[in-house]
A and B are shown apart, each in its own frame.
Chain A
């Protein structure tokens, strides 16, 4: 439950701060958010699998997020604007995989109890 509360609090802080991001960078931010989402679900999954490593999770979260934004940036600079699709597809696929596993683990654990 607590992670959900954290998420809501974070959303509240973000809306309250209203950090101005130039419209031109909104694409980077979007992909970064996707990566962050993927990492967060991944963390949840690792936790459920009892494989959760705090250091791995932290570094993964930030490096994935930054890397995703960087890939989009590179795509724009290299003239391959569709490169962001690679990040979107990769993180998207992983996101759904992680989500499916989280669901499965959740039900399995409940079943056992």
Chain B
């Protein structure tokens, strides 16, 4: 009797044990499976975010480099612009388009205020060629900017007689004629004396006919810029010239 039930009970209990163990294992697996994908997901998400972060970091680095390059280019362009501006200013000054200041000479000439005694009034007044002679001498003496009665002389300027007035470009001038020249005063002075015509005008002729003349050396004088038209209708730039 005892052996009988023992055997069957033991068998059944063994089966129960197997079932219990299997169930236990399965449940364990189930809980792990609940955790694992989440863990894996989190790890994957983290890895993805990390790689993304690295990518952004690299991008920032690249962008910074790009900005640096742009800044360099901009600085270079600014340098070029600055040198162009300087060049432009120099050219404008040389061309007489802007006001200029510096040391130089002021030559003032005027007619004889008294009525001529010998009936030859032409001898007692200042002519356009007188002014041309003085201006030419001043150029020879290295003048960099010349104005006559506030009229700046440029490369196309003309000094001519029309009727009773002297015209500089499109401006009629009346005496006294104040010729301002910026440059080395001593050089210009010696140039005024070196030219025969100018020397005679400023000395013998002026004394003989009582013409008013005055030559002053100035440490600083201002010559205004040219304000007239600058027609360039026929002259063309030669490419590569």
A interface list, Cβ under 8 A from B: 2-15, 17-19, 21, 23, 25-26, 29-30, 32-33, 36-37, 39-40, 43-44, 47, 52, 54, 57-58, 61, 65
| Contact residue among B11, B16, B29 (Cβ-Cβ distance under 8 Å from A37) | B16
Distance from A67 Cβ to chain B, minimum over Cβ atoms (Å): 14
When distances are taken between beta carbons in the complex, the residues of chain B under 8 Å from A9 are 14, 17
Interface secondary structure of A, over-half rule: helix
Task: State A2–B2 Cα separation when bound (angstroms).
Answer: 11
Task: State A4–B12 Cα separation when bound (angstroms).
Answer: 11
Q: Are B8 and A11 in contact (CB under 8 A)?
A: no
Distance from B22 Cβ to chain A, minimum over Cβ atoms (Å): 5
- Assess whether B13 is interfacial by the CB under 8 Å rule: yes
Pick 23 A–B contacts, CB within 8 A, sort by A: A2-B6, A2-B9, A3-B6, A3-B9, A7-B13, A8-B17, A9-B14, A10-B17, A10-B18, A11-B20, A13-B14, A13-B21, A14-B25, A15-B21, A17-B21, A17-B22, A26-B23, A33-B16, A33-B19, A36-B15, A39-B12, A40-B12, A43-B12
| Contact residue among B5, B10, B23 (Cβ-Cβ distance under 8 Å from A52) | B5
Task: State A15–B29 Cα separation when bound (angstroms).
Answer: 13
Which chain B residues in 50-86 approach chain A with CB under 8 Å?
none
Known: A47-B5, A54-B4, A57-B12. A10 touches B20 (CB 8 A): yes
- Assess whether B27 is interfacial by the CB under 8 Å rule: yes
When distances are taken between beta carbons in the complex, the residues of chain A under 8 Å from B16 are 7, 10, 33, 36-37, 40
